[in-house]
Amino acid sequence: EAGVAQSPRYKIIEKRQSVAFWCNPISGHATLYWYQQILGQGPKLLIQFQNNGVVDDSQLPKDRFSAERLKGVDSTLKIQPAKLEDSAVYLCASSSGPTGKLFFGSGTQLSVL
């Protein structure tokens, strides 16, 4: 079974630039999450989708971050404009139901200079 796919693996940008991350969850998984993990911290939820609807985006900085999952499958997370403090690993995860078992992708490591 294919795992959660994410791209790119690494991204380096300058502050105020834009960046987008892509995620393709495990086939059949209705729930998709984007987490931000800053070095030395645990993952922090940015947004949760159920199919193509948003379940929780309360911690998403909506002035600069946006995410979509238009067809209920793959998803894109965008940051515009980026700030230095956005340097982190952006993890996408999916699950088949409310079991607590999340399958994470390898993440995108973002460095904002």
The residues binding another protein (CB under 8 A) are: 33, 35, 40-45, 48, 50, 55-56, 91, 98, 100-102, 104-107
Rounded to a whole number of angstroms, the minimum distance from the CB of residue 68 to another protein is 17
Q: Which is nearer to another protein, 15 or 54 (CB)?
A: 54
The amino acid sitting at 42 is: G
Distance between CA 9 and CA 57 in Å, rounded? 24
Q: Which is nearer to another protein, 17 or 103 (CB)?
A: 103
Q: Which is nearer to another protein, 28 or 42 (CB)?
A: 42
Rounded to a whole number of angstroms, the minimum distance from the CB of residue 111 to another protein is 14
Cβ atoms of residues 110 and 88 within 8 Å: yes
